[in-house]
């Protein structure tokens, strides 16, 4: 390993997609969609990964790994007052957490967690997560472990410090990941599949986060699927009761008094520690720091509220700037430094070449920017010495500083807000006139910080964040699905704003947004349905919600929503017979067919789709405008007929679908429909024993899907994966087993990328591909690989079978029967139900 470099995991297979400069209109600004996957490079060549926005430019790597203690420590005596609270400086001696340390050491112990394990440690900000992880890491390092820190700061430069310890990973490795809940989708799975974590020794990954949101549910499911145990470790309050708080307060007072000149610890007044505001370690240490500082000032009284404690620190920061200016160390006036601090809290840390742009965007005078940046760095030196605009640490302190700067809080008389602060926040959210890469990162970080602050300080939500989103609803997607989920849960989020955000959600499948899109659509449907007096509109609402539910993997709820859509469409057609309501009913029936099939109700699915075809067949006879819908529904019908064994009829329907999709002038929608129909036609031909013809059709489909996925990978990559699985089966049926393995392995690789972000939707498809791949490997006498691959498929089906036996137990029975045949050294039976039909794109 080269110390201090950015790392990406090595690919299991060669690259499977090309870089394109097409813009995905539903790609959030500056946010990497993990469907595209990383782009790999051979040794000593350049790998490009990043954002596409008009012209292609290079974005930021997924993560970096650095050795514990990689930053250059500063002397405690050089720290300003508020820096004494920063957990990275370890000023206050570590107190308590004996039970938690023992629990973490048991987790590190090999007999308790196996070779590799992941643990999420979560607690509100200020509860001591970083200090505890630091403590455990230091002890682990003394015991011979290699300890690395993983970070994901998109605008910081490449660090020079490198991983400590050896690089061959023969020994035990602990990786600590702070802010895990802020990582972009796909970045954590990329880290967890890094080759560094899969050497020969023990590996433990400790994730730190404020809460286990839906990001963790998806990640944990994926971890289970790849055989890496994962658990949660809710960190209880360090200062849970007054006695513990008093102990922590006294330790902190003694330490701060030893560092601050003229301190009089005997005169320190203990605050009312029974107040729930002192429930975090940071709050108690803040109270101790302010109490010691006040003891140095004759006639002063220590503040009593948490807000006033932060206000005291703000006053001391201002005094620190003025002292430096009088000494000639800095030249910037107080208001300019204040603006730089607010900007750094929202956008930092960043590389030096971006910092000037960002300060200009925030409203700093262009002629003073270089001096201001130098002065801010003098006041707030970077921890890693490689970036500038270092934000206030710890995070809670920076968030309080920002919140008190924004007008609208209840403490105006004691902590006057800055009239320009809200404008700075809005300017950074717009990020106008910044370079595209810089603008993308600034928007994402500012939105992330504001969403966190808004959960604790309501006026920031009502005065800054939500008005900014009302002015530009597209901004809501700028930092990804997890941040949008935080925003959606704000108390002042109203349905009008949700409705404004809704059009900016990806209209189709999008792994990072599928779950939060379901929540937004659900809340809007709940609001709109009672106010909707039109059956046709009700049907459309149920259709939209059903599609969102299906993309989020909620199969039963999606099927129920489409049942309601069909009922509403029936009522609309009865009240107003005509082509419009007839097409609406046909569309609802068509979609319900997909949803019924997804829960193994094949006969009902077929009946629903047959009705849809009957309606559209009648309409298309008079008006070619309905041909496209008929083609899509015929494709669906072919799948449903094949599922119940009516293969000759299925082929007739599939051929009609291909013909209709090919009848009109070429169009993107027609190409998508034709590719799906060809994929399904290939499977139907194979069912009838026509291996060579099936293979030719599958290859045609794969060429179409590959071109489409190269152009829009975030949209079409799942269909390419599905078709490659079909292609592998066709190769195997023709005796071309090496080609079967190659195609199926590429399908597996794509599905693993998709499962990284949404295991609920894609994990069963991955299991199906693994089961088929194991059969190909077995026939090539690669028996050990075949059994390992098959075992992973069985684990996935077993887990899903336990969660929903009615739907998934048949798959589990079949995979076990297949294994029995393999062990008996018979030719494995390929289960065609594991060849999922290419879904109609509109479905």
pLDDT higher than threshold 90 for residue 430: yes
Taking the domains of the chain in order of start, what are their residue ranges? 64-234, 242-304, 316-504
Q: For 734-739, what is the mean pLDDT?
A: 92
Which residues face 390 on adjacent strands? Answer: none
Q: Which of 48, 232, 184, 189 is nearest to 762 (CA)?
A: 189
Q: Regarding predicted confidence, which is higher, 144 or 33?
A: 144
Between 809 and 132, where is the model more confident? 132
What count of other Cβ atoms lies within 10 Å of the Cβ of residue 813? 12
480 in Cβ contact with 184 (< 8 Å): yes
CB 733 within 8 A of CB 683: no
Nearest to 477 by CA among 62, 22, 21, 26: 26
Q: What percent of the chain has pLDDT over 90?
A: 42
The C-alpha atoms of residue 376 and residue 680 are separated, in whole angstroms, by 62
> Rounded to whole angstroms, how far apart are CA atoms 789 and 819?
11
DSSP string for 252-316:
HHHHHHHHSTT--GGGPPP--TTSGGG-SHHHHHHHHHHHHHHHTSTT-----SHHHHHHHHHHH
From CA 568, how far away is CA 134, in angstroms rounded? 58
473 has pLDDT over 90: yes
Give the number of other CB atoms < 10 A from CB of residue 220.
19
Q: What is the pLDDT of residues 302-358, one digit of tens each?
A: 887 888 899 999 999 999 999 999 999 999 999 999 999 999 999 989 988 899 999
Residue 386 is predicted with a pLDDT of 75
Q: What is the fold of 64-234?
A: Rossmann fold (3.40.50)
What's the CA angle centered on 359, arms 358 and 361, to 5 degrees?
65
Give the pLDDT mean for 490-500.
96
Check residue 41 and give its pLDDT. 26
Share of the chain above pLDDT 70, in %: 81
Q: Is the pLDDT of residue 465 over 70?
A: yes
What is the Cα–Cα distance from 165 to 559, expressed in whole angstroms? 54
Q: Residue 424 pLDDT more than 70?
A: yes
Q: Is 388 helix (H, G, I), strand (E, B) or coil?
A: strand
Separation between Cα atoms, residue 292 and residue 269, nearest integer Å: 9
Which of the four pLDDT bands, split at 50, 70 and 90, describes residue 80? Answer: confident
**Helix/strand/coil (H, E, C) string of 771-822?**
HHHHHHHHHCCCHHHHHHHHHHHHHHHHHHHHHCHHHHHHHHHHHHHHHHHH
Report the range out of 443-447, 627-631, 757-761 with the highest average pLDDT.
Answer: 443-447
Q: Is the pLDDT of residue 750 over 50?
A: yes
Res 587: pLDDT? 94
> What pLDDT score was predicted for residue 623?
67
Rounded to an integer, the average pLDDT of 426-440 is: 92
Which H or E run contains 170?
A: none
What's the rounded Cα separation, in Å, for the pair 353 and 561? 52
Which CA distances in Å does 317 have to 76, 320, 392, 493?
Answer: 17, 5, 11, 34
Read off the pLDDT of residues 629-647 as tens digits, 9 standing for 90 and up. 899 899 999 989 988 989 9
Q: Under DSSP, is residue 169 helix (H, G, I), strand (E, B) or coil?
A: coil
Among 349, 330, 333, 272, CA closest to 306: 272
3 state DSSP class of 64: strand
Does the pLDDT of residue 218 top 50, yes or no?
yes
pLDDT of 749 over the 60 cut = yes
pLDDT value of residue 802: 52
DSSP string of 552-602?
TT-HHHHHHHHHHHHHHHHHHHHHS-SHHHHHHHHHHHHHHHHHHHHTT-H
**Prior bond to 233 cis, omega within 30?**
no
User: Does the pLDDT of residue 34 top 60, yes or no?
Assistant: no
Q: What is the mean pLDDT of the chain?
A: 81
In the chain, the N- to C-terminal Cα span, in Å, equals: 46
The set of residues, in sequence order, having a beta carbon less than 8 Å from that of 72 and lying 6+ positions away, is 385
Residue 687, pLDDT score: 85
Least confident of 223-227, 697-701, 826-830: 826-830
**Residues in CB range of 11: below 8 A, 6 or more apart:** 38, 40, 749
Q: Which residue has the higher pLDDT, 733 or 206?
A: 206
CA distance linking residue 752 with residue 13, whole number of Å: 12
Beta-carbon contacts of residue 136 (< 8 Å; ≥ 6 apart): 101, 104, 105, 108, 174, 206
How many other CB atoms are found less than 10 A from the CB of residue 474?
A: 13
Question: Could you tell me the pLDDT band of residue 7, with boundaries at 50, 70 and 90?
Answer: very low
Tell me if 418 sits within 8 A of 405, measured CB to CB. Answer: yes
The interaxial angle of helices 421-430 and 395-405, nearest 10 deg, is 110
Distance of CA 801 to the CA centre of its chain: 26
Least confident of 407-411, 417-421, 525-529: 407-411
**CB 455: neighbour CB atoms within 10 A?**
19
pTM: 0.74
Mean pLDDT of 833-837: 48
Indicate whether 112 pLDDT > 70: no
How far apart are the C-alpha atoms of 188 and 219, rounded to whole Å? 8
What is the pLDDT, as a whole number, of residue 162? 41
Name every residue whose Cβ is closer than 8 Å to that of residue 16 and which is 6 or more positions away in sequence: 746, 749, 750
CB 193 within 8 A of CB 203: no
H helix runs in 644-687, sequence order: 647-663, 668-687
Contact 24, 757 (CB under 8 A): no
Whole-number Å distance between alpha carbons of 713 and 703: 14
Q: Residue 765: which pLDDT band, with cuts at 50, 70 and 90?
A: confident
């Amino acid at each position: 390993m080269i110390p201090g470099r950015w790392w990406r995991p090595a690919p299991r297979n060669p690259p499977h997609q090309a870089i394109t400069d097409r813009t995905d209109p539903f790609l959030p600004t500056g946010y990497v969609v993990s469907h595209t996957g990383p782009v790999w490079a051979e040794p000593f060549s350049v790998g490009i990964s990043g954002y596409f926005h008009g012209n292609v430019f290079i974005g930021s790597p997924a993560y970096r790994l650095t050795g514990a203690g990689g930053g250059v420590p500063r002397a405690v005596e050089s720290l300003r007052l508020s820096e004494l609270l920063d957990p990275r400086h370890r000023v206050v001696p570590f107190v308590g957490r004996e039970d938690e340390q023992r629990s973490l050491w048991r987790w590190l112990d090999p007999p308790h967690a196996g070779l590799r394990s992941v643990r999420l440690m979560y607690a509100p900000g200020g509860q001591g997560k970083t200090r505890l992880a630091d403590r455990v890491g230091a002890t682990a390092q003394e015991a011979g472990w290699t300890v690395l820190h993983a970070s994901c700061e998109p605008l910081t430069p490449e660090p020079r410090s490198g991983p400590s310890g050896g690089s061959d990973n023969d020994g035990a490795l602990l990786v600590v990941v702070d802010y895990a809940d802020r990582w972009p989708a796909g970045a954590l799975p990329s880290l967890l599949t890094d080759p560094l974590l899969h050497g020969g020794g023990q590996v433990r990954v400790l994730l730190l986060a404020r809460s286990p949101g839906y990001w963790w549910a998806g990640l944990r499911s994926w971890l289970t699927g790849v055989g890496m145990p994962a658990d949660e470790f809710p960190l209880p309050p360090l200062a849970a009761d007054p006695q513990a708080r008093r102990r922590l307060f006294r330790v902190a007072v003694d330490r701060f008094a030893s560092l601050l000149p003229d301190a009089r610890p005997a005169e320190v007044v203990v605050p009312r520690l029974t107040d729930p505001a002192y429930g975090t370690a940071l709050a108690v240490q803040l109270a101790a720091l302010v109490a010691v500082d006040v003891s140095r000032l004759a006639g002063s009284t220590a503040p009593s509220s948490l807000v006033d404690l932060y206000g005291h620190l703000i006053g001391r920061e201002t005094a620190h700037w003025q002292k430096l200016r009088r000494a000639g160390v800095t030249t910037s006036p107080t208001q300019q430094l204040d603006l730089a601090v607010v900007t750094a809290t929202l956008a930092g840390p960043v590389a030096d070449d971006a910092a000037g742009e960002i300060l200009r965007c925030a409203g700093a005078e262009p002629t003073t920017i270089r001096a201001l940046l130098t002065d801010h760095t003098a006041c707030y030196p970077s921890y890693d010495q490689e970036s500038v605009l270092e934000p206030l640490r710890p995070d809670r302190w920076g968030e309080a500083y920002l919140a008190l700067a924004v007008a609208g809080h209840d403490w105006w008389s004691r902590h006057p807000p800055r009239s320009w602060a809200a404008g700075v926040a809005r300017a950074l959210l717009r990020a106008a006139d910044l370079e595209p890469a810089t603008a993308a990162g600034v928007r994402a970080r500012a939105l992330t910080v504001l969403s966190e602050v808004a959960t604790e300080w309501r006026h920031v939500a009502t005065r800054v964040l939500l008005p900014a989103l009302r002015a530009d609803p597209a901004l809501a997607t700028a930092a990804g699905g997890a941040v949008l989920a935080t925003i959606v849960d704000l108390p002042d989020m109203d349905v009008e704003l949700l409705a404004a955000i809704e059009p900016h959600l990806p209209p189709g499948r999008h792994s990072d947004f599928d779950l939060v899109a379901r929540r937004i659509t659900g809340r809007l449907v709940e609001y709109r349905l009672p106010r909707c007096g039109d059956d046709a509109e009700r049907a459309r609402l149920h259709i939209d919600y059903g599609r969102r539910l299906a993309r989020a993997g909620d199969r039963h709820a999606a099927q129920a929503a489409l049942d309601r859509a069909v009922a509403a469409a029936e009522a609309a057609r009865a009240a107003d017979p005509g082509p419009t309501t007839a097409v609406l009913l046909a569309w609802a029936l068509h979609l319900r067919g997909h949803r019924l099939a997804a829960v193994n109700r094949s006969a009902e699915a077929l009946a629903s789709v047959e009705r849809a075809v009957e309606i559209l067949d009648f309409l298309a006879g008079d008006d070619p405008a309905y041909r496209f819908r008929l083609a899509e529904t015929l494709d669906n019908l072919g799948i449903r007929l094949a599922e119940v064994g009516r293969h000759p009829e299925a082929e007739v329907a599939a051929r009609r679908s291909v013909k209709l999709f090919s009848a009109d002038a070429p169009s993107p929608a027609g190409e998508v429909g034709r590719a799906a129909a060809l994929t399904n036609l290939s499977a139907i031909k194979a069912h009838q024993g026509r291996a060579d013809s099936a293979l030719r059709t599958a290859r045609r489909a794969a060429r179409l899907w590959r071109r489409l996925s190269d152009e829009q990978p975030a949209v079409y990559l799942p269909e390419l994966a599905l078709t490659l699985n079909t292609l592998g089966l066709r190769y195997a049926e023709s005796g071309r087993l090496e080609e079967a393995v190659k195609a199926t392995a590429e399908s597996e690789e794509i599905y693993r990328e998709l499962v990284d972000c949404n295991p609920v939707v894609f994990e069963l498809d991955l299991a199906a591909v693994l089961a088929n791949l194991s059969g190909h490997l077995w026939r090539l006498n690669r028996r050990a690989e075949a059994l390992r691959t098959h075992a992973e498929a069985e684990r996935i089906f077993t887990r899903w079978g336990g969660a929903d036996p009615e739907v998934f137990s048949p798959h589990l029975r079949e995979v076990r029967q297949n294994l029995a045949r393999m062990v008996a050294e018979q030719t494995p039976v390929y289960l065609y139900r594991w060849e999922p039909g290419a879904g109609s794109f509109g479905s």
